[in-house]
Structure 1
Amino acid sequence: MKRYAILYVATFVVMLPLDLLFLGTIAKGFFNAQVGDMLGEVRLAPAILFYFLYIVGILVFVNSAPDATWRSTLLYGALFGFFCYATFELTSLSLLKHWTWPVVMVDISWGTVVTAVAATLGLLLANWVESKL
Protein backbone atom coordinates (compact mmCIF):
# COMPACT_ATOMS: atom_id res chain seq x y z
CA MET A 1 0.00 0.00 0.00
CA LYS A 2 2.89 2.34 0.81
CA ARG A 3 4.33 1.67 -2.66
CA TYR A 4 1.12 2.78 -4.35
CA ALA A 5 0.87 5.93 -2.25
CA ILE A 6 4.42 6.92 -3.20
CA LEU A 7 3.78 6.04 -6.84
CA TYR A 8 0.52 8.02 -6.84
CA VAL A 9 2.10 11.16 -5.40
CA ALA A 10 5.17 10.87 -7.65
CA THR A 11 3.03 10.52 -10.78
CA PHE A 12 0.73 13.34 -9.69
CA VAL A 13 3.59 15.80 -9.11
CA VAL A 14 4.88 15.08 -12.61
CA MET A 15 1.54 15.08 -14.46
CA LEU A 16 -0.11 18.17 -13.04
CA PRO A 17 2.61 20.76 -13.75
CA LEU A 18 3.24 19.37 -17.24
CA ASP A 19 -0.45 19.46 -18.15
CA LEU A 20 -1.00 22.91 -16.65
CA LEU A 21 2.03 24.25 -18.53
CA PHE A 22 0.74 22.82 -21.80
CA LEU A 23 -2.88 23.88 -21.36
CA GLY A 24 -2.23 27.22 -19.70
CA THR A 25 0.71 28.44 -21.76
CA ILE A 26 1.94 26.37 -24.69
CA ALA A 27 -1.38 25.42 -26.32
CA LYS A 28 -3.66 28.07 -24.85
CA GLY A 29 -3.67 30.22 -27.99
CA PHE A 30 -4.21 27.20 -30.22
CA PHE A 31 -7.25 25.98 -28.26
CA ASN A 32 -8.68 29.50 -28.05
CA ALA A 33 -8.32 29.93 -31.83
CA GLN A 34 -9.85 26.52 -32.58
CA VAL A 35 -12.69 26.19 -30.06
CA GLY A 36 -12.53 29.36 -27.98
CA ASP A 37 -16.22 30.06 -28.42
CA MET A 38 -16.94 26.79 -26.58
CA LEU A 39 -14.55 27.42 -23.69
CA GLY A 40 -15.75 28.89 -20.44
CA GLU A 41 -14.26 29.38 -17.03
CA VAL A 42 -12.47 26.35 -15.65
CA ARG A 43 -14.62 24.58 -13.09
CA LEU A 44 -12.13 23.57 -10.45
CA ALA A 45 -13.95 20.61 -8.85
CA PRO A 46 -14.31 18.56 -12.07
CA ALA A 47 -10.73 19.43 -13.08
CA ILE A 48 -9.35 18.23 -9.74
CA LEU A 49 -11.50 15.11 -9.91
CA PHE A 50 -10.14 14.36 -13.39
CA TYR A 51 -6.51 14.48 -12.20
CA PHE A 52 -7.19 12.37 -9.11
CA LEU A 53 -9.00 9.70 -11.17
CA TYR A 54 -6.64 9.79 -14.13
CA ILE A 55 -3.63 9.14 -11.90
CA VAL A 56 -5.48 6.16 -10.40
CA GLY A 57 -6.01 4.92 -13.96
CA ILE A 58 -2.30 5.25 -14.68
CA LEU A 59 -1.46 3.25 -11.57
CA VAL A 60 -4.03 0.53 -12.28
CA PHE A 61 -3.40 0.11 -15.99
CA VAL A 62 0.25 1.13 -16.37
CA ASN A 63 2.22 0.90 -13.13
CA SER A 64 0.44 -1.90 -11.25
CA ALA A 65 2.99 -4.60 -12.08
CA PRO A 66 5.60 -4.91 -9.33
CA ASP A 67 8.24 -5.57 -11.98
CA ALA A 68 7.33 -2.54 -14.14
CA THR A 69 10.32 -1.08 -15.93
CA TRP A 70 10.70 2.40 -17.34
CA ARG A 71 10.41 0.94 -20.85
CA SER A 72 7.18 -0.94 -20.18
CA THR A 73 5.80 2.08 -18.33
CA LEU A 74 6.67 4.39 -21.20
CA LEU A 75 4.93 2.09 -23.70
CA TYR A 76 1.82 1.35 -21.63
CA GLY A 77 1.61 4.95 -20.45
CA ALA A 78 1.60 6.10 -24.06
CA LEU A 79 -1.07 3.57 -24.98
CA PHE A 80 -3.24 4.44 -21.97
CA GLY A 81 -2.95 8.15 -22.76
CA PHE A 82 -3.69 7.56 -26.43
CA PHE A 83 -6.86 5.56 -25.78
CA CYS A 84 -8.16 7.84 -23.02
CA TYR A 85 -7.59 11.06 -24.92
CA ALA A 86 -8.83 9.54 -28.20
CA THR A 87 -12.05 8.50 -26.47
CA PHE A 88 -12.69 12.04 -25.28
CA GLU A 89 -11.59 13.76 -28.47
CA LEU A 90 -13.44 11.55 -30.94
CA THR A 91 -16.59 11.67 -28.81
CA SER A 92 -16.31 15.47 -28.71
CA LEU A 93 -15.75 15.60 -32.46
CA SER A 94 -18.81 13.46 -33.07
CA LEU A 95 -21.09 15.48 -30.77
CA LEU A 96 -19.85 19.07 -30.59
CA LYS A 97 -20.55 21.32 -33.54
CA HIS A 98 -17.37 23.41 -33.34
CA TRP A 99 -14.84 20.70 -32.39
CA THR A 100 -12.10 20.42 -35.00
CA TRP A 101 -9.74 17.79 -36.36
CA PRO A 102 -6.68 19.87 -35.46
CA VAL A 103 -7.82 19.94 -31.81
CA VAL A 104 -8.34 16.19 -31.91
CA MET A 105 -4.86 15.54 -33.31
CA VAL A 106 -3.06 17.92 -30.95
CA ASP A 107 -4.87 16.75 -27.84
CA ILE A 108 -4.51 13.02 -28.58
CA SER A 109 -0.82 13.56 -29.26
CA TRP A 110 -0.44 15.53 -26.05
CA GLY A 111 -2.37 12.95 -24.02
CA THR A 112 -0.14 10.20 -25.36
CA VAL A 113 3.05 12.09 -24.50
CA VAL A 114 2.05 13.52 -21.13
CA THR A 115 0.72 10.20 -19.86
CA ALA A 116 3.81 8.30 -20.99
CA VAL A 117 6.12 10.88 -19.42
CA ALA A 118 4.14 11.21 -16.18
CA ALA A 119 3.86 7.45 -15.74
CA THR A 120 7.54 6.87 -16.47
CA LEU A 121 8.95 9.74 -14.43
CA GLY A 122 6.47 8.90 -11.66
CA LEU A 123 7.78 5.33 -11.60
CA LEU A 124 11.42 6.44 -11.58
CA LEU A 125 10.75 9.03 -8.88
CA ALA A 126 8.84 6.53 -6.74
CA ASN A 127 11.67 4.00 -7.11
CA TRP A 128 14.16 6.66 -6.06
CA VAL A 129 12.07 7.71 -3.03
CA GLU A 130 11.63 4.09 -1.97
CA SER A 131 15.37 3.50 -2.18
CA LYS A 132 15.89 6.39 0.26
CA LEU A 133 13.40 5.04 2.83
Structure 2
Amino acid sequence: MLAWIGRYAVAAAVFGVLDGLWLGVVARPLYDDQLGELLAENPNAVAAVAFYVIYVLGITFFATRPALAEESGRTALVHGGLLGLVAYATWDLTNLAVLEGFPAGVVLVDLMWGTVATAVTAVVTYAVCRRVPALR
Protein backbone atom coordinates (compact mmCIF):
# COMPACT_ATOMS: atom_id res chain seq x y z
CA MET A 1 0.00 0.00 0.00
CA LEU A 2 2.84 2.40 0.78
CA ALA A 3 4.37 1.74 -2.64
CA TRP A 4 1.07 2.62 -4.28
CA ILE A 5 0.77 5.84 -2.28
CA GLY A 6 4.35 6.69 -3.23
CA ARG A 7 3.63 6.09 -6.92
CA TYR A 8 0.56 8.29 -6.65
CA ALA A 9 2.59 11.05 -4.98
CA VAL A 10 5.22 10.94 -7.73
CA ALA A 11 2.57 11.11 -10.46
CA ALA A 12 0.78 13.95 -8.65
CA ALA A 13 3.98 15.97 -8.37
CA VAL A 14 4.94 15.43 -12.01
CA PHE A 15 1.50 16.14 -13.43
CA GLY A 16 0.98 19.07 -11.06
CA VAL A 17 4.19 20.76 -12.20
CA LEU A 18 3.52 20.09 -15.89
CA ASP A 19 -0.09 21.22 -15.82
CA GLY A 20 0.70 24.20 -13.60
CA LEU A 21 3.30 25.43 -16.10
CA TRP A 22 0.93 24.76 -18.98
CA LEU A 23 -2.08 26.51 -17.50
CA GLY A 24 -0.21 29.30 -15.78
CA VAL A 25 2.44 30.17 -18.35
CA VAL A 26 2.52 28.37 -21.70
CA ALA A 27 -1.14 28.19 -22.72
CA ARG A 28 -2.42 31.07 -20.63
CA PRO A 29 -2.45 33.57 -23.50
CA LEU A 30 -4.27 31.10 -25.77
CA TYR A 31 -6.93 30.32 -23.18
CA ASP A 32 -7.39 33.98 -22.27
CA ASP A 33 -7.80 34.88 -25.93
CA GLN A 34 -9.98 31.97 -27.03
CA LEU A 35 -11.97 31.25 -23.86
CA GLY A 36 -11.90 34.64 -22.15
CA GLU A 37 -15.63 35.03 -21.48
CA LEU A 38 -16.01 31.39 -20.51
CA LEU A 39 -13.22 31.43 -17.92
CA ALA A 40 -14.26 31.83 -14.31
CA GLU A 41 -12.72 34.80 -12.53
CA ASN A 42 -12.29 32.54 -9.49
CA PRO A 43 -12.01 28.86 -10.43
CA ASN A 44 -13.91 26.32 -8.34
CA ALA A 45 -11.10 24.94 -6.17
CA VAL A 46 -13.10 21.91 -5.00
CA ALA A 47 -13.81 20.85 -8.58
CA ALA A 48 -10.17 21.43 -9.58
CA VAL A 49 -8.83 19.37 -6.67
CA ALA A 50 -11.36 16.61 -7.41
CA PHE A 51 -10.20 16.50 -11.04
CA TYR A 52 -6.51 16.25 -10.11
CA VAL A 53 -7.11 13.60 -7.43
CA ILE A 54 -9.16 11.46 -9.81
CA TYR A 55 -6.97 12.03 -12.85
CA VAL A 56 -3.73 11.17 -11.05
CA LEU A 57 -5.46 8.05 -9.73
CA GLY A 58 -6.19 7.17 -13.37
CA ILE A 59 -2.58 7.75 -14.44
CA THR A 60 -1.29 5.65 -11.55
CA PHE A 61 -3.72 2.79 -12.13
CA PHE A 62 -4.04 2.69 -15.92
CA ALA A 63 -0.50 3.64 -16.98
CA THR A 64 2.10 3.37 -14.20
CA ARG A 65 0.84 0.14 -12.63
CA PRO A 66 0.86 -1.89 -15.86
CA ALA A 67 4.20 -0.38 -16.91
CA LEU A 68 5.80 -1.46 -13.65
CA ALA A 69 4.22 -4.92 -13.90
CA GLU A 70 5.63 -5.33 -17.43
CA GLU A 71 8.86 -3.45 -16.64
CA SER A 72 8.22 -1.38 -19.75
CA GLY A 73 8.66 2.33 -20.26
CA ARG A 74 6.91 1.87 -23.59
CA THR A 75 3.81 0.62 -21.78
CA ALA A 76 3.88 3.75 -19.61
CA LEU A 77 4.21 5.93 -22.70
CA VAL A 78 1.43 4.25 -24.69
CA HIS A 79 -1.02 3.78 -21.80
CA GLY A 80 -0.39 7.30 -20.53
CA GLY A 81 -0.77 8.83 -23.97
CA LEU A 82 -3.99 6.97 -24.67
CA LEU A 83 -5.44 7.87 -21.28
CA GLY A 84 -4.59 11.51 -21.88
CA LEU A 85 -6.12 11.50 -25.34
CA VAL A 86 -9.34 9.85 -24.14
CA ALA A 87 -9.73 12.06 -21.08
CA TYR A 88 -9.01 15.33 -22.82
CA ALA A 89 -11.13 14.32 -25.84
CA THR A 90 -14.03 13.69 -23.49
CA TRP A 91 -13.80 17.23 -22.14
CA ASP A 92 -12.98 19.09 -25.34
CA LEU A 93 -15.18 17.26 -27.82
CA THR A 94 -18.16 17.42 -25.47
CA ASN A 95 -17.62 21.17 -25.16
CA LEU A 96 -17.31 21.49 -28.92
CA ALA A 97 -20.54 19.53 -29.34
CA VAL A 98 -22.69 21.38 -26.82
CA LEU A 99 -21.25 24.85 -26.21
CA GLU A 100 -22.04 27.54 -28.74
CA GLY A 101 -18.84 29.02 -30.11
CA PHE A 102 -16.39 26.71 -28.34
CA PRO A 103 -13.17 27.21 -30.37
CA ALA A 104 -12.00 24.20 -32.38
CA GLY A 105 -8.41 25.45 -32.15
CA VAL A 106 -8.47 24.98 -28.40
CA VAL A 107 -9.68 21.41 -28.88
CA LEU A 108 -6.68 20.45 -30.99
CA VAL A 109 -4.19 22.09 -28.63
CA ASP A 110 -5.83 20.48 -25.58
CA LEU A 111 -5.88 17.01 -27.16
CA MET A 112 -2.18 17.27 -27.89
CA TRP A 113 -1.45 18.63 -24.43
CA GLY A 114 -3.47 15.97 -22.61
CA THR A 115 -1.79 13.21 -24.60
CA VAL A 116 1.74 14.52 -24.06
CA ALA A 117 1.34 15.59 -20.42
CA THR A 118 -0.19 12.28 -19.37
CA ALA A 119 2.36 10.23 -21.32
CA VAL A 120 5.26 12.21 -19.84
CA THR A 121 3.80 11.89 -16.34
CA ALA A 122 3.43 8.13 -16.74
CA VAL A 123 6.96 7.68 -18.11
CA VAL A 124 8.62 9.87 -15.48
CA THR A 125 6.63 8.19 -12.70
CA TYR A 126 7.60 4.77 -14.07
CA ALA A 127 11.28 5.78 -14.26
CA VAL A 128 11.32 7.15 -10.70
CA CYS A 129 9.51 4.11 -9.31
CA ARG A 130 11.92 1.71 -11.06
CA ARG A 131 14.85 3.47 -9.36
CA VAL A 132 13.31 3.58 -5.88
CA PRO A 133 12.96 0.01 -4.56
CA ALA A 134 10.17 0.96 -2.12
CA LEU A 135 8.01 2.15 -5.06
CA ARG A 136 8.35 -0.91 -7.28
TM-score, length of structure 2 as denominator length:
0.91
1:75 aligns with 2:91: no
Query: Superposition pairs for residues 26-37 of structure 1, below 5 Å?
Result: 26-37=26-37
Shift of residue 63, structure 1, vs aligned partner? 2.0
Tell me the equivalent position of 1:18: 18
What residue in structure 1 maps to residue 62 of structure 2?
A: 61
1:58 is displaced (CA, Å) by 1.1
Match for residue 49 of structure 2?
48
The structure whose RCO (Cα within 8 Å, separation 6+) is larger is: 1
Is 1:99 the counterpart of 2:107 in the alignment?
no
**Which aligned runs of 4 or more in structure 1 are off by greater than 6 angstroms?**
none
Unmatched runs of 5 consecutive residues or more in structure 1? none
SS at match of 1:121: helix
Q: CA deviation at 1:61?
A: 1.4
* Higher mean C-alpha displacement, 105-114 vs 36-45: 36-45
Could you tell me the TM-score, scaled by structure 1's length? 0.93
Provide the aligned length of Structure 1 versus Structure 2: 133
Give the share of equivalent positions with the same residue, in percent. Answer: 33
Deviations 1:4-28 (A, max 9, x none): 1111111111000110100111100
Structure 2 residue runs without a partner (length 5+): none
Pair 1:12–1:96, CA change in 2 (3 A): same
Q: Distance in 2 between matches of 1:35 and 1:9?
A: 31
2:116 aligned with 1:118: no
